[in-house]
Every structure is written in structure tokens, then in C-alpha cells.
Chains A and B, each alone.
Chain A
Amino acid sequence: MSQDLRPAPADTAAAPETAAPDATGLTAAQIKRMKRFDNPWFNPKLIWGAGLLLGIVALGILGRLFWDTDLVFTGAGMPRQGPVGVENIRGQVGTWAHPLGTDVSGKDILALLIVGAPNTLYVGVLASLIGMSIGIFLGFSAGFIGGRTDDVIRVGSDVMITIPPLLILVVVQAAFGDITLTLMAMLIACFVWQSPTRLIRAQVLSMRESGYVQMARLSGASTGHIMFREMLPNLVPYLFGSFIANVTTSIVTAVGLEVLGLGPQRVPTLGRVIYDAINSGALIQNLWWWWGAPTILLAVMFIGLLLINLGLDEVSNPRLRRL
């Protein structure tokens, strides 16, 4: 039996373990569609979703530059004006002074949206950020320390998941009376940390035994290094997905509270506009622009978040990508 005693020649490039792909015989359109997947982040759903959300942010920024936000106050214009070119029940035709019309007390709807939409998004993002931070901390603690700590965190989050958040929040907010956006976000955050905790705990448990974590332990890595330098980067797709899902949940919860009249009283939010519209009989008076405009904006926001979530799924799970 003879054996080559020299070390094998260094493999030049990354040795392909199967036959190399071959792009001959494909139409240009097929190649173009394949190219699209070279960079997974260049995903149409992700781009559209991000575009819709950025549109709402842009509405907030550009609106403040080019529109007068003082129009959100009572009596800023004639009450019950329709959007441009729309006639209201008094036969008045909407003008460019209030492109989306005004409400029953003369507040400009466009100004309300410019101030309110970013506020709603802010509550959602802040609540989700706080919730994720709690979730990352507790999930890592449970997965990494194990034992009694794990038991407490696991049972705690399981119990919290069964409690309907709106029920508790209605009671709490009613007791608080008028609250700020930030306080509301913090209260909602108390109900969105459970699922990231469970998700991260499960991932940490499986990752803890993986080869590269063993290697890091062999390299004398500290616990902090293993958690944040070795494990956390690999969790990013999950964290992103979980974050976006939590933003959606938080906005739904926030809008739910606002529509019940339990949100901030002095700051316009999309939910608050809808609450006012319902309360002032906008439906009976056929002031559809009053509740319609914020509803459309909320729908855009949710569709944007949904598309981002679907896109992220495809980024982290290549099997979902279709040719």
C-alpha cells in the first residue's frame, strides 16, 4: 500500500464538493432572477416593507418642514371641511388650506397625521425595543445559567404569556389618567418580552452545545464573550424578526388603548384621532376623511411591517426563497 507522504497540495480556491454550477443555457431573465439572490438582503419584500415604513417617517419629517403643525389645535380652521374637491353636508367644498379636511372642531387632519403617525410608530418601536432588551437579557440568563434561574424565568414568561395584555392595560391606564407616550410604551413593553425570552432561551440552549461555542470555551473565552461575540451575532435574524413582530403587537395594543380613549390625552396619535372621530359621531355625519385617513395610514404601517417580517424570514431561511 503506497501513500503520498507529502502533505496534499493546498487546495486552491474553496474546493467545491459537488460539480460546479454552470450558467449556460439560461435565458437572461432567469439569470437576472438568480442574481437577485446573491445578496439575501436585496429582497423585494424587505425593500417594499422598509419603503412603506420609511414613507411614514418621511411624512413626519417633511410634514414638519413644509406644513404647519400648529394646525393640530382646536379652531385652526373651519370645522367639518372635506378634503380638496369634496363637498361636505353643508355644501362647502374642501380647499388646499386643509388638503385632507378638518374635524368637528376645526383641527387639520393632515397636521394630525403628520404629528400622530410618527408618535404611533414611536410607541411601537420603543415598546418593542424595551421588550427585546428584557427578552435578550432574560433569555440569555435562562439558557446560559440554567438551573433555578432558568426555572423561574421560564415559568414566569409562560405565565405572563397567558395573561391578556389589553385587560391589564385598560385597568392600569384608567388608573393613571393622562399619560405620556413613553410611559405608555413602557407599560406595553411589560407584555412583549415573553416571546423573545422563550425564543432566545431555546436558541441559546441549542447553541451552547455547538462546536464553535465549545471551541470558544477551549480558547479561554469569558462567558460574556461567548454570549455577545459568539452567540448573539448568529441570533440577529431571529432578533430582527422578533423585533418586527413585537412592533406590530405593540402598535396594535397602543392603538387599541387609544381608540378606547385611554392613551395620551394631549398628544395626537392615530388611535386618538379615531377615538375622537367615533366619539363625535363622524360616522353618522359622514365625515369619512376624519377616521378614514388615519385608518389607511395604520394599514400601510401594518402592511409594511408584515412585508419586512416576510422578507426577513426569507433572508434567514433560504429555503423560502423561490426562483
Chain B
Amino acid sequence: MSILDLENLSIDFPTSKGVVHAVTGVTLSVEKGRRVGFIGESGSGKTTTALAAMRMLAAPGFVSGGEIRLNALDHPNVLDLSDEEMRQVRLSKIAYIPQGAMNSLNPIMRIEHQIWDGIVAHEGGVSEAELKRRSNAALEGVGLDPKIVARLYPHELSGGMKQRVCIAIGTCLDPHLIIADEPTSALDVITQRHVMQTLREAQARIGAGLILIGHDMGLMTQSVDEIAVLKKGELVEYGPTQQIIETPQHPYTKELISSVPLVGGASFLDPAPATPAEGEHGDDPLLELRGVSKVYGNVTALHPMSFRLDGATPQIISIVGQSGSGKSTMGSLMLGFNPPSTGEVLFKGRDVYTQSAAEKLAFRKDVQAVFQDPYACFNPFYRVNHALKFPFERFGLSKGADHTRTAMEEACIAVGLAPETVLDRYPHQLSGGQRQRLIVARALMLSPKLLIADEPVSMVDASLRATILKNIHDLKDQHGISILYITHDLATAYHVSDYVMVLYKGHVVEAGPPKEVIGDPQHAYTRLLIDSIPWPELDRDWGSYESARAALDRLAEIETRPETVYRGEVPGFALSQG
């Protein structure tokens, strides 16, 4: 018998612009012990649907039609329950594991007290010894040592541990259904694998149904039994994981699956043009780092490293690493935003941090960037063309208003945007993908010598990632711009780059051409990263809970003795540690 049935569920949000039908006519059921994945892009209604089952819709949303039946109850229709009855159902029958564990735990309560809270609220006066026994069991169930963790405060735990505490809270009353809302989106891939395995194990142990909400097809493939694909509030495809992955029916599902780039396999890029554009020729290398390091207080973000990029033939150099690996620090060092603690950053033989005002302007023109967050990159006060027009005029590239306008239009067309529909709009009227493409168009207009792309696609919906990466790749091939591509995503680095550096805690642990480094990793850390990526392929298994656990232990081992594995050279780029 199923645990939860949604029947023809519709959810509306009245807004100042009219009623938004966030969810329309969704019908599905979750069986006991089964894992169902809700996948879709931001705004597709996946979280809204799941929250409706807990009657926790954000105001002013309301269920405008259909039924939600939780079959564990005497009166299964959730919508008919009183608020007090609903309160009793939450956590004991349906548990919710939130997205940002860092913000979901009370910062001033010890971990065990937070678990007790839920037990006491549902079962009343339970003796402290009993509470202690149960919270310890719950913590053990998620692989945390209660002797250490139970008495700690949330800020003393890492992100992955906090998320596992949230799982412990969610499973401590043996609910019939667990709703996990992107439980790993804020974690790096290695921790993600461990947390997901923990969640799967805890769910299997208590035999609950699981709804996993996410946008990553790979994660879904590795974690759930059935997949529900949502688009704009409608259920477009629903079926067993194998069927969805192997024979997707709906074009949107196909798009979602193909948007996950794979290591190996066909590239999503055009074959290189016969005559690639020429780069910058000069006596001095385009960019050179000499013994650069960065220290914040007593944390070393980047250990001393040197490299030189000739730039004679444009190249894409990828810097790959997890959050905290120092990759973004490297980006801001090279942009001249953040002076290094030791060493010097040279652009065409001149120190970036000791330039005169005129040199600085020339440097700014030659070195441009694409940042991670396309939503923040436009000043909300101006129309988006301000971001393109201002630097163009500032760098003296413009020959008049008409010339600026044509240049902007050409750049838009080059990145696949229709100029008349985007240029005269305000940023909030454009989607994230459109904005990020405009930023690429901006870089194209200014034709810099070097482009620093800091996680350019990590905040863009999956279906647009390939397009934007292709736009960036074209900058190299067709416009001769050398690119430093900073990312956490090994698969895209594999396809776009000429040379890859893997960064771990400020050390380069492995470096070389992508076919070697990512296709056949030698360093333990690189291997760990690649093993931890959830692939949207059923025959590439993610491994067991034990292997994920062992991976974390290995990571701790690497931390003590970082060493660099060099995997071959490419002409025009030289790297050395120290």
C-alpha cells in the first residue's frame, strides 16, 4: 500500500501580477520503502509540491484543487486536518530534511537537545535517560559518534555533519515519509556522496518512503527508484529510474539527462576550427605568477605557486577544486582585486599591483572576468545595456553611440541572444541564463587578452550550461582569448580545457592535460573527486555507504601530506610549486 498519494494536486499563488499556478494536476504516489525523486529546474514546483504534503506552503500559496492522502492516518486526507492534528503528523509521520543545514539548526542549542525537542513535542514527558538513549541511537544511525557530537553546538560541526544531524532529527521518530529538499546542494561532491548514502541507509532501516528533491540528474540516478520530472508545475514524466534514464520520452527529460556532461564520451563543443585565432604575441608571457601565496590570518588559502601562461596560442587553463581549495582566491589575485601575501602577479611582464593609473586601465581592458552569480552582476538601477556600454566607452573602444549599439548587438547575437529582446530590459526581467550570456557578450565586446571565468555556470539552470560553456569556448577559438576556467565540475573542465590543475587546500595536487588528469587520475584526491561524482548512468554505481566512509578517511590522510603529481606538459604553459 502506498504511503502518500497525491491526486490531481494543484497549488496557486495569488500575486500582484495575477495568480501563479505553481503546480497543476500532479498525480503520483509514494510506496513504502520506495525512493522517489522530484527533479526540475528552479521554479518548477518540486519543493512546493512536497511542502504541500506537510501543509507548509509559504503564504500566500494554497492548494486549489486535488487531494493529498497520507494513508498512515485514520482520516488520510491531509487537507482536512486541523492545525493541531497537522502538528502531530509533522515529524512523526512526515519528516522534512531542509536544504541548508547550516541555517536549520538552532545555533544556541546542543545537538542532542535539538533531537529531544522533536521527541518531547510528540510524546510528552519522556525521561532524560530515555531521551539520551534515543538521541544517541539516532546519531549513531547517521554515523556520528554520540559521545563527541551530542554535546556540541552546531557551529562546531562541518556542513556534512550538520546535514547528517538534520537526517538524525528527521528519522528519530521513525516517520512513514521523509522529504529531503536538496539535502546536499550546499556540500561538495565527496561529502555529498557520504550524506546521500547515510540518508539512504537511514531510510531503508526505518522502511520509510523518501521524496528526494533535486535538480541533478546524476544524483537522482544514483539515489532513487522512481523519478518524477516537473516543468513549470506540471508532471511531464514519471516512472522507474531505469526507464527514465534509458528511454526518456519527454524532450525536457532528454535535455536534463544530456545536460550532465560526462568525462569521456563525445564533447558538447564544436570540433576546433581549422585555423584557430591567434593569441597575443609578445616578449613577456601573458600572465605569470611568481611564488604567489595568500594567507588570511592563520589560514593559508593558497600555498606558494608559480606558473607562466604564454598566450601565443590561446588556451583554456582549468583550475579545479572544492570550496575552500583556494581556487577563487587565485581568481581574485589574478584580477588585481586581492594582493598576494608573497610573490608577484605579472601581466605582460608588469606587476599587477604596482601599476600607474593609466597602466591599470590598460590592464583592466585586457583582463576581464565572468563571475559565478549572474543575478548580482547587473546593477538593478540600470538597464542591462549599461553593463556593456559603460566599459566599452570607458576603454575608448567606442566610435560613437551608433558604433556602441552595433557592437552590443553583434556581441548579443554571437552568444545567441536576440538584442532587441534583452538589451533594453532591466536585470530582474531576464533569466539567470540570459544574464550570464550577456556577461559573456560583454567580455566578447571588450576583446580582452585574458578572461577569468569563476564558476560561470554553477548558478545557471542545467539546460543552459552547455550553451554558455560553448560561448566561452568560442571566445578562445574565434577571438583568441586565453581563459582561466575556475570550477568545481571536473566533467566540464575535461571537455573545455587544454590544461587542468587540481587544487586541494591551496596546494596543486595534480596537473596536466585533461585526458590524463581527469581521464586517468593518479593522485588519491583526484581519484576521490571523480569517484564521488554521481553519474546519470545506471551501470556506474556510486558505491556503498562503507566506500563513501572510507573515502572520507582517505581524504583526511591526504591532508597531512599534499604532493603534486605532474601529468605532462602542454606548450605555452609551465607550472611549478613554490
Q: How far is it, in angstroms, between the C-alpha of A210 and the C-alpha of B372 when the chains are bound? A: 12
With both chains docked as a complex, state the minimum distance between the C-beta of A228 and any C-beta of chain B, in angstroms: 12
* Sample of 16 A–B contacts (CB below 8 Å): A2-B266, A3-B268, A3-B466, A10-B416, A11-B434, A14-B430, A15-B430, A17-B42, A18-B232, A19-B21, A21-B20, A26-B18, A211-B376, A212-B379, A214-B369, A233-B379
Q: In this assembly, does B552 line the interface, its C-beta being within 8 Å of a C-beta of chain A?
A: no
Q: How far is it, in angstroms, between the C-alpha of A34 and the C-alpha of B14 when the chains are bound? A: 10
Instruction: Give the residues from 1 to 51 in chain A that come closer than 8 angstroms, CB to CB, to chain B.
Output: 1-3, 5, 7-15, 17-26, 34, 37-38
Grouping DSSP codes into helix (H, G, I), strand (E, B) and loop, the A interface class, with mixed when no group exceeds half, is loop
Residues of B within 8 A of A65 (CB): none
- Let me know if A218 and B364 touch, CB within 8 A: yes
- Let me know if B258 and A1 touch, CB within 8 A: yes
Contact code string B64-81 (vs A, CB < 8 Å = 1, else 0) = 000000000000000000
Q: A11-B431, A13-B421, A234-B379 are in contact. Are A34 and B16 (CB under 8 A)?
A: yes
- Let me know if B434 and A15 touch, CB within 8 A: yes
- Let me know if A22 and B429 touch, CB within 8 A: no
Instruction: Give the residues from 374 to 415 in chain B that come closer than 8 angstroms, CB to CB, to chain A.
Output: 375-382, 387, 390-391, 394-395, 415
Residues of A within 8 A of B368 (CB): 218
Q: In this assembly, does B297 line the interface, its C-beta being within 8 Å of a C-beta of chain A?
A: no
Among A11, A22, A220, A321, point to the contact of B19 (Cβ < 8 A): A22
- Let me know if A3 and B266 touch, CB within 8 A: yes
Among A14, A15, A37, A220, point to the contact of B395 (Cβ < 8 A): A220
Contact code string A196-223 (vs B, CB < 8 Å = 1, else 0) = 0000000000000011101111111100
Contact code string B240-263 (vs A, CB < 8 Å = 1, else 0) = 000000000000000000100010
Residues of B within 8 A of A214 (CB): 337, 369, 371, 377
- Let me know if A14 and B431 touch, CB within 8 A: yes
Residues of B within 8 A of A23 (CB): 18-19
Residues of A within 8 A of B258 (CB): 1-3
Q: How far is it, in angstroms, between the C-alpha of A212 and the C-alpha of B232 when the chains are bound? A: 30
Residues of A within 8 A of B44 (CB): 18
Q: In this assembly, does B572 line the interface, its C-beta being within 8 Å of a C-beta of chain A?
A: no
Q: A14-B425, A19-B233 are in contact. Are A215 and B418 (CB under 8 A)?
A: no
Q: In this assembly, does A323 line the interface, its C-beta being within 8 Å of a C-beta of chain B?
A: yes
Q: In this assembly, does B281 line the interface, its C-beta being within 8 Å of a C-beta of chain A?
A: no
Instruction: Give the residues from 304 to 323 in chain A that come closer than 8 angstroms, CB to CB, to chain B.
Output: 321, 323
Residues of A within 8 A of B432 (CB): 17
Q: In this assembly, does A230 line the interface, its C-beta being within 8 Å of a C-beta of chain B?
A: yes
Among B42, B266, B421, B434, point to the contact of A1 (Cβ < 8 A): B266
Among B24, B371, B416, B425, point to the contact of A8 (Cβ < 8 A): B416
- Let me know if A10 and B18 touch, CB within 8 A: no
User: Number of contacts between A and B (CB, 8 Å)?
Assistant: 146
For the complex of A and B, list the 5 residue pairs with the smallest distance between their C-beta atoms, beginning with the closest.
A211-B376, A7-B416, A219-B391, A21-B18, A10-B418
Residues of A within 8 A of B14 (CB): 323
Q: In this assembly, does B31 line the interface, its C-beta being within 8 Å of a C-beta of chain A?
A: no
With both beta carbons as reference points, the residue of chain A lying nearest to B44 in the complex is identified as A18
Contact code string A259-302 (vs B, CB < 8 Å = 1, else 0) = 00000000000000000000000000000000000000000000
Residues of A within 8 A of B114 (CB): none
Residues of B within 8 A of A216 (CB): 379, 390
Q: How far is it, in angstroms, between the C-alpha of A1 and the C-alpha of B17 when the chains are bound? A: 41
Q: In this assembly, does B43 line the interface, its C-beta being within 8 Å of a C-beta of chain A?
A: yes
Q: How far is it, in angstroms, between the C-alpha of A17 and the C-alpha of B430 when the chains are bound? A: 9
Q: How far is it, in angstroms, between the C-alpha of A15 and the C-alpha of B416 when the chains are bound? A: 14
With both chains docked as a complex, state the minimum distance between the C-beta of B128 and any C-beta of chain A, in angstroms: 42
- Let me know if A18 and B20 touch, CB within 8 A: yes
Q: How far is it, in angstroms, between the C-alpha of A8 and the C-alpha of B413 when the chains are bound? A: 11
- Let me know if B21 and A230 touch, CB within 8 A: no
Give the interface centre of A5, A12, A38, A215 by most chain B CB atoms within 10 Å.
A215
- Let me know if B379 and A230 touch, CB within 8 A: yes
Give the interface centre of B60, B361, B382, B425 by most chain A CB atoms within 10 Å.
B382
Q: In this assembly, does B335 line the interface, its C-beta being within 8 Å of a C-beta of chain A?
A: yes
- Let me know if A221 and B425 touch, CB within 8 A: no
With both beta carbons as reference points, the residue of chain A lying nearest to B268 in the complex is identified as A3
Q: Assuming A38-B16, A323-B60, what are 15 further A-B pairs, CB within 8 angstroms?
A: A2-B258, A15-B430, A15-B434, A17-B43, A19-B45, A20-B20, A34-B16, A34-B18, A211-B371, A214-B337, A215-B377, A215-B387, A233-B382, A321-B16, A323-B16
Q: How far is it, in angstroms, between the C-alpha of A221 and the C-alpha of B376 when the chains are bound? A: 17
Residues of B within 8 A of A217 (CB): 337, 364
- Let me know if B467 and A8 touch, CB within 8 A: yes
With both chains docked as a complex, state the minimum distance between the C-beta of B230 and any C-beta of chain A, in angstroms: 11
Q: How far is it, in angstroms, between the C-alpha of A233 and the C-alpha of B470 when the chains are bound? A: 35
Residues of B within 8 A of A5 (CB): 268, 270, 470
Contact code string B457-495 (vs A, CB < 8 Å = 1, else 0) = 000000010110011000000000000000000000000
With both chains docked as a complex, state the minimum distance between the C-beta of A13 and any C-beta of chain B, in angstroms: 6
- Let me know if A220 and B18 touch, CB within 8 A: no
Residues of B within 8 A of A221 (CB): 390, 394
Q: How far is it, in angstroms, between the C-alpha of A7 and the C-alpha of B270 when the chains are bound? A: 11
- Let me know if A220 and B364 touch, CB within 8 A: yes
Residues of A within 8 A of B22 (CB): 18-19
- Let me know if B19 and A26 touch, CB within 8 A: yes
With both beta carbons as reference points, the residue of chain A lying nearest to B262 in the complex is identified as A1
With both chains docked as a complex, state the minimum distance between the C-beta of B149 and any C-beta of chain A, in angstroms: 34
Contact code string B348-385 (vs A, CB < 8 Å = 1, else 0) = 00000000000011001100110101011111111000
Q: In this assembly, does B417 line the interface, its C-beta being within 8 Å of a C-beta of chain A?
A: yes
Q: How far is it, in angstroms, between the C-alpha of A323 and the C-alpha of B16 when the chains are bound? A: 7
With both chains docked as a complex, state the minimum distance between the C-beta of B22 and any C-beta of chain A, in angstroms: 6
With both chains docked as a complex, state the minimum distance between the C-beta of B265 and any C-beta of chain A, in angstroms: 5
Q: How far is it, in angstroms, between the C-alpha of A99 and the C-alpha of B163 when the chains are bound? A: 75
Contact code string B1-40 (vs A, CB < 8 Å = 1, else 0) = 0000000000000111111111010000000000000000
With both chains docked as a complex, state the minimum distance between the C-beta of B371 and any C-beta of chain A, in angstroms: 6
Q: How far is it, in angstroms, between the C-alpha of A179 and the C-alpha of B381 when the chains are bound? A: 43
With both beta carbons as reference points, the residue of chain A lying nearest to B395 in the complex is identified as A220
Q: How far is it, in angstroms, between the C-alpha of A15 and the C-alpha of B463 when the chains are bound? A: 14
Residues of B within 8 A of A230 (CB): 379
Among A17, A19, A234, point to the contact of B381 (Cβ < 8 A): A234
With both chains docked as a complex, state the minimum distance between the C-beta of A59 and any C-beta of chain B, in angstroms: 36
- Let me know if B380 and A219 touch, CB within 8 A: no
Q: How far is it, in angstroms, between the C-alpha of A23 and the C-alpha of B14 when the chains are bound? A: 9
Residues of A within 8 A of B268 (CB): 1, 3, 5
- Let me know if B262 and A10 touch, CB within 8 A: no
With both beta carbons as reference points, the residue of chain B lying nearest to A234 in the complex is identified as B381
Residues of A within 8 A of B378 (CB): 211-212, 215
With both chains docked as a complex, state the minimum distance between the C-beta of B344 and any C-beta of chain A, in angstroms: 20
With both beta carbons as reference points, the residue of chain B lying nearest to A13 in the complex is identified as B421
Q: How far is it, in angstroms, between the C-alpha of A208 and the C-alpha of B179 when the chains are bound? A: 38
Contact code string B273-309 (vs A, CB < 8 Å = 1, else 0) = 0000000000000000000000000000000000000
Instruction: Give the residues from 426 to 446 in chain B that come closer than 8 angstroms, CB to CB, to chain A.
Output: 429-434, 439
With both chains docked as a complex, state the minimum distance between the C-beta of A88 and any C-beta of chain B, in angstroms: 55
Q: A25-B19, A34-B16, A219-B390 are in contact. Are A211 and B373 (CB under 8 A)?
A: yes
With both chains docked as a complex, state the minimum distance between the C-beta of A6 and any C-beta of chain B, in angstroms: 8
- Let me know if B464 and A8 touch, CB within 8 A: yes
Q: How far is it, in angstroms, between the C-alpha of A15 and the C-alpha of B428 when the chains are bound? A: 11
- Let me know if B369 and A218 touch, CB within 8 A: yes
- Let me know if B379 and A10 touch, CB within 8 A: no
With both chains docked as a complex, state the minimum distance between the C-beta of A72 and any C-beta of chain B, in angstroms: 46
Q: How far is it, in angstroms, between the C-alpha of A11 and the C-alpha of B233 when the chains are bound? A: 20
Q: A18-B233, A211-B377, A217-B337 are in contact. Are A12 and B421 (CB under 8 A)?
A: yes
Q: How far is it, in angstroms, between the C-alpha of A321 and the C-alpha of B18 when the chains are bound? A: 15
With both chains docked as a complex, state the minimum distance between the C-beta of B477 and any C-beta of chain A, in angstroms: 13
